[in-house]
Amino acid sequence: MKKLINNPDNVVRESQEGMAIAHPDLIKIHLNPHFIYRADAPIQNKVAIISGGGSGHEPMHGGFVGMGMLDAACPGEIFTSPTPDQMLEAAKTVNGGVGILNIVKNYSGDVMNFEMAAELAYSESIEVLNILIDDDVAVKDSLYTQGRRGVGTTVLAEKICGAAADQGYDLKTIAELCRKVNLNGRSMGMALTSCTTPAKGSSTFDLGDDEIEVGIGIHGEPGRQRISLKSADEITEMLAISIIEDSSYTRTVREWDVDQGEWIEVELTDPPLKSGDSVLAFVNSMGGTPLSELYIVYRKLAEICEQKGLQIVRNLVGSYITSLEMQGCSITLLKLDDELMKLWDAPVKTASLRWGI
Amino acid sequence: MKKLINNPDNVVRESQEGMAIAHPDLIKIHLNPHFIYRADAPIQNKVAIISGGGSGHEPMHGGFVGMGMLDAACPGEIFTSPTPDQMLEAAKTVNGGVGILNIVKNYSGDVMNFEMAAELAYSESIEVLNILIDDDVAVKDSLYTQGRRGVGTTVLAEKICGAAADQGYDLKTIAELCRKVNLNGRSMGMALTSCTTPAKGSSTFDLGDDEIEVGIGIHGEPGRQRISLKSADEITEMLAISIIEDSSYTRTVREWDVDQGEWIEVELTDPPLKSGDSVLAFVNSMGGTPLSELYIVYRKLAEICEQKGLQIVRNLVGSYITSLEMQGCSITLLKLDDELMKLWDAPVKTASLRWGI
């Protein structure tokens, strides 16, 4: 295993300490339990946005803490869910008195622990709503997930909800907004190579010299198919068409009913993309794929969107939700309306996403 | 070879076409000869800043074209110098009537071709000055270079000179500023793995499973030593101490004498870093190393700088000057004064570096 690390046990802590040292104007680190939070938190009368999940996907989530995006990020060990005590302490630290939105990627451990954290927060009179991101069209049910996995749309939801919180949206409205982003967003990824977690020290999975995995998860979970290497254009087409032609997806999610004070089951259906829609196109590196290759993917994606009558009105190209040094990419298409576009354009100042300020 | 590409012959063009499609508000692409330039060029009465070099180092240079940084970037094929006709046509396209600064990394091919381009531009009455970046302390003379190679300081010089051009500096003053940045900047890199150019299709060089190359160049040129894998802290210390304890370096460079209308030889010496200096600390990924590992390096670098009496007042952490998918990192320390800091902080809006706007 060749990595720029010291003791494998300390990778997450040392990396996040480095972040905090590099960006003291933006973030602070809290240890025992471990989370990153805005240096100017808590901000009174602003809904706080928290996310978190296993580490190894950097810059998500710690790199998105700051003005106009997250108030706190709770990192687990690499590819391992964070624990409820991290989420609870983060909630108490950034609580501005008007509630907290937890943006939760759909992995069983994350879902369970964020639910427990919400209950603990309620018992301390902090109002919390959890919204699930489950945008990966590749597979239904996976290694660590019931239903679709949460991937690229998470980054976009964090940006958009962070802007809404800045603009004074209340908790319930931000939760509805986050749900809308999730229902409007679809993603799919692929891997050219595996990755190696420091704890294991060897490849997470094996992939032949001429093989790629299409529909892979961000922890190397199996995708739709393992096929021989294809051209960038062919790969882009496989991902883009799967996303664009994905039909309505209906799932039942557990959400906290504020009025009843209990968990209820809610059925949600996302509308399929259709010709004439405006979209944000997000081409993401799995970590080890260089930017130059992402633009080759973007070039083909733009052509396909045009053929399908989708107008790309915003985009994001780079490494935002990664799997350590895995080579490969993911594509996310988020249907935009005027509200989402305005919130996307709003100023943001974090370690890894910044504009307008 | 596993890459997200189509025909290896078209990698550079397709990638840059993707960039131009993704960022039409910022850049345009010119083909035959090939360069990327600001969408709003030429800007009258502003010195234009041009850079270029072999491709494979993205986002450098195309990702740095835009407001507050480069006016044009001339890409060669991967790890291959661009040609004088690209540079000349770029100069004619972005010429705002008050001269052009070419920022040239010290590789023999780049130097020769940018010199020829400057002469051609003069013959068309466009005033051009070339400033060399030769900041890599690892080795003197290398595979493609006489003297020290030009690496990380290039990114910083492009940002700082771009801001100066925006603020109305004249050509001669910007050239002096660029020279100051180069003399104040020092870098050194290392590789955990090799990289593969699409044209060759196999590793640029071989590195054993337990080996790293310290002092490597951005094309895989040999560094100072090949040693067994070390911890991130040990590697950071090797790079940082080499940079901090580097003594004065004196070189003779060829610069165009505007008044005489001929090339003259100029002797330049960079002052060593000393306790009490303020620095910009730049930790850069070679392409395939994830952001999380860069912050582990930054954590140790900050500790070393503090021990050595260097105050880090600005920083940059990410993938800015890369070698395709090579794993590894480089460190650059740039001594800052008030002028450089003010220009660094000025707004910039490019595909890959953006703040303040």
Kindly identify which residue of chain A lies nearest to residue B55, measuring between CA atoms: A292
Confidence check: pLDDT of A141 > 90: no
Q: Is A40 exposed, middle or buried (0-12, 13-18, 19+ CB in 10 A)?
A: middle
A219 in catalytic set:
yes
Displacement of CA A7 from its chain's centroid (Å):
27
Task: Tell me which chain B residues have a C-beta less than 8 angstroms from the C-beta of A318.
Answer: 352
With cut-offs at 50, 70 and 90, classify the pLDDT of residue A163: very high
pLDDT of residue B143: 83
pLDDT of residue A74: 98
Q: Has residue A307 been placed in a domain?
A: yes
Distance CA(B96)–CA(B194), nearest Å, equals 41
With cut-offs at 50, 70 and 90, classify the pLDDT of residue A260: confident
Q: Would you call A4 and B354 a contact, using CB atoms and an 8 Å cutoff?
A: no
A23 in catalytic set:
no
pLDDT of residue B275: 98
pLDDT of residue B144: 84
For residue B172, the distance in angstroms to the closest alpha carbon of chain A comes to: 31
Q: Are residues A225 and A152 in the same domain?
A: no
**Closest in B14, B325, B329 to A4, CB measured:** B329
pLDDT of residue B71: 98
Number of other residues whose CB lies within 10 A of the CB of residue B99: 22
Task: Tell me which chain B residues have a C-beta less than 8 angstroms from the C-beta of A324.
Answer: 290, 292
pLDDT of residue B290: 97
Closest among A61, A67, A140 to A102, alpha carbons compared? A61
Q: Are residues B179 and B285 in the same domain?
A: no
Confidence check: pLDDT of A144 > 90: no
For residue A53, the distance in angstroms to the closest alpha carbon of chain B comes to: 15
Q: Are residues A198 and A123 in the same domain?
A: no
Q: Has residue B9 been placed in a domain?
A: no
Q: Has residue A6 been placed in a domain?
A: no
Q: Would you call A4 and B294 a contact, using CB atoms and an 8 Å cutoff?
A: yes
Q: Are residues A264 and A134 in the same domain?
A: yes
Confidence check: pLDDT of A167 > 90: yes
Give the domain CATH number at A27. 3.40.50.10440
Q: pLDDT for B49-65, tens place per residue?
A: 999 999 999 999 999 99
Contact A131, A153 (CB under 8 A): no
Distance CA(A30)–CA(A40), nearest Å, equals 14
Q: Which two tokens stand for residue B227?
A: 């040693």
Task: Tell me which chain B residues have a C-beta less than 8 angstroms from the C-beta of A192.
Answer: 2-4
In order along chain B (357 residues), what is the average pLDDT of each group of 10 residues?
97 98 98 98 98 98 98 98 98 98 97 97 96 96 90 98 98 98 98 96 94 96 96 98 95 88 93 97 98 98 98 98 98 98 98 97
Q: Are residues B213 and B323 in the same domain?
A: yes
Task: Tell me which chain B residues have a C-beta less than 8 angstroms from the C-beta of A15.
Answer: 292-293, 295-296, 299
Task: Tell me which chain A residues have a C-beta less than 8 angstroms from the C-beta of B328.
Answer: 4
pLDDT of residue A299: 98
Per the structure, the count of domains in chain B is 2
Q: Has residue A176 been placed in a domain?
A: yes
Q: Would you call A4 and B293 a contact, using CB atoms and an 8 Å cutoff?
A: yes
Task: Tell me which chain A residues have a C-beta less than 8 angstroms from the C-beta of B293.
Answer: 3-5, 15
Q: Are residues A163 and A310 in the same domain?
A: no
Q: pLDDT for A80-109, tens place per residue?
A: 999 999 999 999 999 999 999 999 999 999
Percent of chain A with pLDDT over 70: 100
Mean pLDDT of the region A310-327: 98
Kindly identify which residue of chain A lies nearest to residue B324, measuring between CA atoms: A290
pLDDT of residue B258: 78
Task: Tell me which chain A residues have a C-beta less than 8 angstroms from the C-beta of B327.
Answer: 2, 288, 325
Kindly identify which residue of chain B lies nearest to residue A18, measuring between CA atoms: B299
For residue A156, the distance in angstroms to the closest alpha carbon of chain B comes to: 17
pLDDT of residue A356: 96
Q: Would you call A21 and B302 a contact, using CB atoms and an 8 Å cutoff?
A: yes
pLDDT of residue A258: 78
Confidence check: pLDDT of A259 > 90: no
Mutate to test the interface with A, among B295, B298, B300, B320 (most CBs of A within 10 A): B295
Q: Would you call B296 and A356 a contact, using CB atoms and an 8 Å cutoff?
A: no
Chains A–B, number of C-beta pairs less than 8 Å apart = 177
For residue A16, the distance in angstroms to the closest alpha carbon of chain B comes to: 7
Q: Are residues B133 and B257 in the same domain?
A: yes
Q: Would you call B4 and A192 a contact, using CB atoms and an 8 Å cutoff?
A: yes
Q: Are residues A267 and A278 in the same domain?
A: no
Q: Are residues B128 and B201 in the same domain?
A: no
Q: Are residues B111 and B214 in the same domain?
A: no
Q: Are residues A51 and A175 in the same domain?
A: yes
Q: Would you call B233 and A6 a contact, using CB atoms and an 8 Å cutoff?
A: yes
Give the domain CATH number at B330. 3.30.1180.20
Residues of B annotated as catalytic are 57, 219
Q: Would you call A296 and B5 a contact, using CB atoms and an 8 Å cutoff?
A: yes
State the residue for tokens 């005033």: B127
For residue B291, the distance in angstroms to the closest alpha carbon of chain A comes to: 6
Q: Is B226 exposed, middle or buried (0-12, 13-18, 19+ CB in 10 A)?
A: middle
Instruction: Look up the domain containing B343 and give its range.
Output: 14-186+248-271+338-355
Confidence check: pLDDT of A131 > 90: yes
pLDDT of residue B141: 84
Measuring CA to CA, how many Å separate B157 from each of B134, B178, B225, B258, B338? 11, 6, 28, 22, 15
**Closest in A4, A17, A55 to B232, CB measured:** A4
Q: Would you call A325 and B295 a contact, using CB atoms and an 8 Å cutoff?
A: no
β-bridge pairing B348-350 and B66-67: antiparallel
Q: Are residues B96 and B193 in the same domain?
A: no
Distance CA(A3)–CA(A1), nearest Å, equals 6
Mean pLDDT of the region A260-277: 94
Contact B312, B132 (CB under 8 A): no
Helix (H) or strand (E) holding B67: strand B66-67
Q: Has residue B4 been placed in a domain?
A: no
Q: pLDDT for A35-52, tens place per residue?
A: 999 999 999 999 999 999
Q: Would you call B325 and A2 a contact, using CB atoms and an 8 Å cutoff?
A: no
